[in-house]
Structure 1
Amino acid sequence: MAKRRKLEAPTAEAMAEIAAELSRVAPQARAAVAPIAQVAAEVAAARPAGDHPSQMARQRDANDAEAWRDADAQGRVVLRLPLDRIDLDHVVRDRMVSDDEDMAELRASLRASGQRLPVEVVPLQGGRFGLISGWRRITALAQIAREDNAPQAEVLALLRQGRDAAAVYAGMVEENEIRAALTPYERGRIAAVAAGQGAFASVDEAVDVIFAAASKSKRSKIRGFALVHEVLGDLLAFPAALGEKQGLQLAQALRDGQGARLRDALAQAAPDRAEAEWKCLDAVMAVPQGASQKGGRPRSLPALQREVLASGAVLEFGRSETGLVIRAQGLTLSPARFEALLAELRSGTE
């Protein structure tokens, strides 16, 4: 019969070996846990539970910063700019006259409630800005500053980036048409000026873009007033007073070749009021004989060559059936040079 084996308690050395073996097996069991879960567990263990509000605050700050950058890129951030850093003549204004009573009301409103609507500007060189819209507001603020002897007057403004000349003129006219309708002559004049400064290839294109929301018949009338400005604008003393019917009558007379007669009449007249000026023009205009030219440009208006000088001035020149045509916009000459130019022109006729 086999002897039974007697069981003995493990020694201390054997227990130590068993414990060491178990410690080597434990990492293999933990390896079954996904790495991302292990990282998340370690981060959660390292970050105290009370840090959640700080995390939410950081997220809000990041979202706010991104929203601000988007608004800044889109020109929706209101800036506070010194008045003396804004060029009011960056573009030729569409409105020719400013009513004193309306300006007084605007100043009173600004004093009572402050500036609630910002002006629009574009960036220029040297830290300056060019005004697009808001001429009346910024003029009223400047008048208030002079009345109050304010050392550093400021204006709230929206900075518009990357706007070409065509968009600038369209935006300026759109604002004024909404707030207070321009006169018929002012509409035609701004279209002619914008084309003359190179913002558009022609007056027709300027009218179509600037007054895109207007009906076809209204754009046709605006072209008529643009023609009046081109031919007679330098001689008219009260152009903004021309009514729609009067302006269209003048435009038709110009298309019928009466431009020289009308210019001569204006050059010899010295009207002191709008009614007298129109009476002078009305007396000169002849009834068109035969079929008159409807719409478009006048037959007698010459096609001029156009040059933009280094100074930014615009020079237009050419020949017509009646002689030479020379126009200069933004050109500054000393009295001596101007007299020398006149003398040269006079000598050519002798």
Structure 2
Amino acid sequence: MDITLIPLTDIDPEALPRDRQTMAEEALDILLQSILQDGLRQPIEVWPIEGSRPWALISGARRYRCFIRLAALNPDRWSQIPCLIRQPAEISGALALMVSENEIRTQITPWEKGALLGEVVEQGYFPSLEAASEALYPTLPRRERSRLRGYALVVEALDGFLTEPRSLSVARMDRLAVALRAGLADLMRASLAPLSGAAPARQWAALQPAITEAILEPDGPAPSVPTPGRPRRVLRLNSGITLRREWTPSGWNIRIDARHAAHPGIVDDILEYVERWFQKEG
């Protein structure tokens, strides 16, 4: 295995989409001290690209980050890093190498896995989520790759709405994916919209009705001719009023958000209309 010393400034750490979005400072400090004491035990992996930085980082993001910090203190010693040069036939091979190493070395959160799948498809590296999951996670069973595609749907639908999305467990990401596949994206976003920056526990509680609906709503007879826009789960009025339906084990609720409405009697009006429509005169 030939190792090449490459200047840090010649390596682009962001040339490829990465599944690890955050790095624990404590873990970086431990790795940095280990490098100071014993040197770099394993080189990073790069592959040649065109541009001002001729090398793209494949694996070893934490090692690269530590060398950057060390070079800031002692550039004469740490300005170059040992590299193993790879020659993937396609960029998909480089991405697969990166994912493979991170799966072994550190825990990547379900949110980060979903974000990576969505990003590589959006950037055109793969034609679909299915193709991306098969290429990046070839050893996983089909069912597990389907779960990862569900995580990508969660990221696409709820990115920017959740305070700490990377803290979501596998079980919670699975439940969110079920709700999204049931067509409840608008309802979920409407539930989270008033809670920007709120605590994760409060946001999760707001999502529970949509998750409950996806899991518990009984199957009704399918209409012979589907009606566009049905079922209606969220209704937004120009007056600022938002109504959304929620399924609970005991039946349907209609939640009314009229905090910004200029019509304070909305609840009384709705009850009056319902009475007119459904109350038979005796």
TM-score under structure 1 length normalisation = 0.58
Aligned AA for 2:213? V
Q: What are structure 2's unaligned runs of at least 5 residues?
A: 221-227, 229-234, 236-282
- Matched residue, 2:124: 198
Partner of 2:48: 123
Distance in 1 (alpha carbons) for counterparts of 2:12 and 2:53: 11
Query: What amino acid sits opposite 2:169 in the alignment?
Result: G
**Alignment partner, residue 290 of structure 1:** 218
1:239 to 155, 165, 172: 165
Distance in 2 between the 1:199 and 1:140 partners?
A: 29
Percent identity of equivalent pairs: 30
Match of 1:153 in 2: 79
The answer to whether the 8 A contact 2:179-2:185 is kept is yes
State the secondary structure of the residue aligned to 2:45: strand
Aligned residue identity for 1:194: V
The CA distance in 2 between the partners of 1:273 and 1:95, in whole Å, is: 23
- 1:108 has 2:33 as partner: yes
Alpha-carbon deviations, 1:116-144, whole Å to 9, x = none? Answer: 21111111224621111111100011112
Q: CA RMSD in A?
A: 2.4
1:151 offset after TM fit, Å? 7.8
Q: In the alignment, residue 101 of structure 2 is paired with which amino acid?
A: E
Equivalence for 2:194:
268
For residue 327 of structure 1, what is the aligned residue in structure 2?
Answer: none
State the partner residue of 2:156. 230
More helix by share: 1
> CA offsets per residue over residues 194-229 of structure 1, 9 Å max, x none?
112111110011111211111233222212111101
Local SS of the residue matching 1:198: coil
Which of 117, 120, 144 does residue 70 from structure 2 map onto? 144
Partner of residue 214, structure 1: 140
CA distance in 1, matches of 2:206, 2:73: 42
1:149 is displaced (CA, Å) by: 5.5
Match in the other structure for 1:257:
183
Q: Give unpaired runs (5+ residues) of structure 1.
A: 1-75, 293-299, 301-321, 323-350
Instruction: From 168, 171, 174, give the equivalent of 2:97.
Output: 171
Q: In the TM superposition, what whole-angstrom CA distance separates every residue of 1:227-280 from its partner, at most 9, and x where no partner exists?
A: 101211243331211111111111111111110121233332123543333233
Counterpart code for 2:20:
R
What is the distance in 1 between the residues matched to 2:73 and 2:219? 59
Higher RCO (CA 8 Å, separation ≥ 6 residues): 2
Match of 1:135 in 2: 61
Q: Which moved more, 1:209-218 or 1:168-177?
A: 209-218
Q: Partners in 2 of 1:135 and 1:216 — Cα distance? A: 29
Does the Cα contact within 8 Å between 2:12 and 2:53 map onto a contact in 1? no
Deviation at 1:88, TM superposition (A): 0.8
Residue 44 of structure 2 aligns with an amino acid whose one-letter code is V
Secondary structure of residue in 2 paired with 1:287: helix
C-alpha distance in 2, partners of 1:274/1:165?
36
Residue identity in the other structure for 1:121: V
User: Could you tell me how far apart the structure 2 residues matched to 1:171 and 1:281 are?
Assistant: 36
Corresponding residue of 2:4:
79
C-alpha distance in 2 between matches for 1:247 and 1:127: 37
Q: After the TM superposition, which segments of 4 or more aligned residues of structure 1 sit over 6 Å from their partners? A: none
Q: SS in structure 2 opposite 1:122?
A: strand
* Structure 1 residue 158: Cα displacement: 1.3
SS at match of 2:31: helix
- Would the aligned equivalents of 1:96 and 1:186 in 2 still touch at CA under 8 Å? yes
In the alignment, what sits opposite 1:95? 20
2:115 to 168, 189, 211: 189
Q: How many residues align?
A: 219
What residue identity is the alignment partner of 1:113?
Answer: D
- Structure with higher Rg: it is 1
DSSP 3-state at the match of 2:161:
coil
SS of 2:213's partner is coil
Distance in 2 of aligned mates of 1:159 and 1:149: 23
Helix, strand or coil for the counterpart of 1:138?
A: helix
Quote the Cα distance in structure 1 between the aligned partners of 2:130 and 2:149. Answer: 7
Q: Distance in 2 between matches of 1:116 and 1:130?
A: 20
